[in-house]
Structure 1
């Protein structure tokens, strides 16, 4: 992977950004949460940098897919809870500024991005970290990785849209059990429950996720990917007739794009397609 223009640290310099970004030669932006000393727990520093980095990736025509991972032993071990003494101040009745921790966007904004987002879950994936992973389009996890939605065990509610996304990914029965118990489970069970696409050895995880993302970048129309992502979100809330009617309208629009001619021509000529980038 090569560093993106404007994001290269000087030789010998340690990049202390809360989120790092590299862009591969295959058109994939790799965003790495970079607070390993606290297991990449979500706080204002990560949130602010994450939104900047991912907006740049979504707007960059050279980027066709995005991979999100974490540095160190965790993907994201939940929200930064602070210290025990800090938690005790909640008893004083002072309102908690959740926005200061979470940032100005809910996790479901990942579903609204035009480009596919792949989670490479390298370690602990808990709380809001689990929610963010679920909002990604595809998920790979390192073998043995721990997952949990422990909100009930912290006296909290199902936060940040997880009660909406989890039933849609794994079904209502699985979602109900995981959210009510708040139990910890590992990547292998997550795969069996349909929460992750594959479980990979830790040392191979990022390469597997990037390879998958580069496959999308090389073989799929960016315009088609953007439209299909939108369809999946919108059509999940409507009926079959609405989805079919909308698809017919979108099909007519897609036939006017050069992507269709290129896709068919590349198939007939048995060569990789050369789809134009998103406008």
Structure 2
């Protein structure tokens, strides 16, 4: 499939989605939105893919919504597409409706999504980065909510996600001030998992992804990811009950048998995801 605003590669169990408008710091467009979702769903449905990486081309991750889109909304020449607002009717009853809106679908993917934040992530670009499961950043990365300085509000669920990552007060600081946050501060806040020199970012991300793809049960990753996100809506008792039920299912899986076998036989794992 040909893409206009992204590139998409699958290799050695890793799918890499790259926002590809480097001359615009990968500013987000309607085309990019459709292409990213198409690539993500393709990777999620491909049994050969174990991990997904999302990054940006050039010196930016994503500078936010393209200003042509914002200008079009302001003068009324562009309208939000159907499904653009939260509360969209779920299209898959097996997945929480919360994780099926315009940008909140990353948690519904069964594969881990690693954000390789290689440069500025502002506004909508920051929102997209937060929906990644794990974030590694270049020292050149800058995070900025930007909304308040555009006369906007906390869009697309960032008011839900950001406090869960860095806490209530810190989230309000970043939202209200729209100030720039360096990669080092983002690490201190818990906004990112690790920070690397610019030229070391993608090697580190690929090495981490390769370890997951080669040495970890894809079934375990899918179940754990679902548990963690669903637990945000559960009591402790409910989370314990789900964990107990999933453990019983795990004992009957091929990956559990392989997990024991490769450990005892001291050989590389050959997980199937079943």
Scaled by the length of structure 1, the TM-score of the pair is 0.87
Runs of 4+ in 1 over 6 A off after TM superposition: 100-104
1:39 is aligned to: 25
The answer to whether structure 1 residue 28 and structure 2 residue 10 are counterparts is no
Scaled by the length of structure 2, the TM-score of the pair is 0.89
Distance 2:83 2:254 in 1: 44
Contact kept? 1:36, 1:71, Cα under 8 Å: yes
Tell me the CA shift for residue 101 of structure 1.
Answer: 11
2:60 is aligned to: 74
Contact kept? 2:50, 2:218, Cα under 8 Å: yes
Contact kept? 2:138, 2:196, Cα under 8 Å: yes
Mapping for residues 1-279 of structure 1, pairs under 5 Å = 17-25=4-12, 27-82=13-68, 86=71, 90=74, 94=76, 97-99=79-81, 105-277=101-273
Contact kept? 1:44, 1:101, Cα under 8 Å: no
Contact kept? 1:125, 1:145, Cα under 8 Å: yes
Contact kept? 2:120, 2:140, Cα under 8 Å: no
Tell me the CA shift for residue 83 of structure 1.
Answer: 8.3
Distance 2:35 2:251 in 1: 38
Secondary structure of 1:63's partner?
coil
Tell me the CA shift for residue 109 of structure 1.
Answer: 0.4
Contact kept? 1:119, 1:140, Cα under 8 Å: yes
Tell me the CA shift for residue 100 of structure 1.
Answer: 7.8
Q: Count matched residues.
A: 260
Secondary structure of 2:233's partner?
coil
2:96 is aligned to: none
Distance 2:163 2:69 in 1: 32
1:11 is aligned to: none
Q: Which runs of 5+ in 2 are unaligned?
A: 89-100
Tell me the CA shift for residue 102 of structure 1.
Answer: 6.3
Tell me the CA shift for residue 270 of structure 1.
Answer: 2.1
Q: Which runs of 5+ in 1 are unaligned?
A: 1-6, 8-14
Secondary structure of 1:82's partner?
helix
Distance 1:230 1:251 in 2: 14
- The change in CA–CA distance for 1:224 and 1:101 in structure 2 (over 3 A counts) is closer
Tell me the CA shift for residue 56 of structure 1.
Answer: 1.1
Secondary structure of 2:65's partner?
coil
